[in-house]
């Protein structure tokens, strides 16, 4: 699966890398070297169901098997959403200088 760079529109990272990219950690594009990440607003929407489930688990106090049965499909679903639906954005971090050069588009 191709993940296109918001800077140069070329393939910029593998699917595995996209699973681990967050607003706090950008990845340098393979083609142009500019920083690519995801925006906070998407990240927060991605984390929201995880937080709700964690709160629910804490309230219900199910056994280890129930936690596994809830946690594994949830992690899988969140990974798929990040992979297919969360768009990549410019992080503004330049590989050469390490400085934030873009405007705040979060
Ligand atoms: Zn690029």
CA of 21 relative to ligand 1 center, distance in Å: 15
Distance CA 29, CA 19 (A): 15
Instruction: Identify the band that residue 76 occupies on the pLDDT scale cut at 50, 70 and 90.
Output: very high
Whose tokens are 């910029």? That residue is 12
Q: Tell me, what's the pLDDT at 61?
A: 80
Q: What b/e string do you get for 83-96 counting C-beta neighbours within 10 Å, with b at 16 or more?
A: eeebebbbbbbeee
Name the nearest CA neighbour of 36 among 46, 21, 15.
21
CA of 4 relative to ligand 1 center, distance in Å: 8
pTM of the predicted protein model: 0.72
Distance CA 10, CA 30 (A): 8
Q: Between residues 22 and 93, which one has the greater pLDDT?
A: 22
User: Considering just the CA atoms, what is the radius of gyration of the chain in Å?
Assistant: 16
Asked if the model's pLDDT at residue 101 lies above 60, the reply is no
Spell out which residues have Cβ within 5 A of ligand 1, the ion: 5, 7-8, 12, 29, 31-32
Query: Residue 37: how many CB atoms within 10 A of its CB?
Result: 21
Mean pLDDT over the full length of the chain:
85
Instruction: Identify the band that residue 71 occupies on the pLDDT scale cut at 50, 70 and 90.
Output: confident
Q: Tell me, what's the pLDDT at 14?
A: 94
Q: Tell me, what's the pLDDT at 1?
A: 83
CA of 42 relative to ligand 1 center, distance in Å: 21
């Amino acid at each position: 699966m191709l993940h296109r760079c918001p800077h140069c529109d070329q393939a910029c990272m593998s699917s595995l890398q996209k699973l681990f990219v967050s607003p706090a950690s950008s990845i340098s594009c393979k083609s142009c070297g500019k920083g690519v990440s995801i925006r906070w607003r998407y990240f927060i929407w991605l984390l929201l169901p995880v937080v709700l489930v964690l709160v629910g688990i804490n309230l219900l106090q199910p056994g280890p098997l129930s936690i596994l049965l809830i946690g594994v499909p949830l992690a899988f679903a969140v990974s798929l959403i990040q992979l297919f639906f969360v768009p990549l954005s410019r992080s503004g971090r330049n590989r050469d200088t390490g400085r934030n050069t873009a405007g705040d588009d979060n």
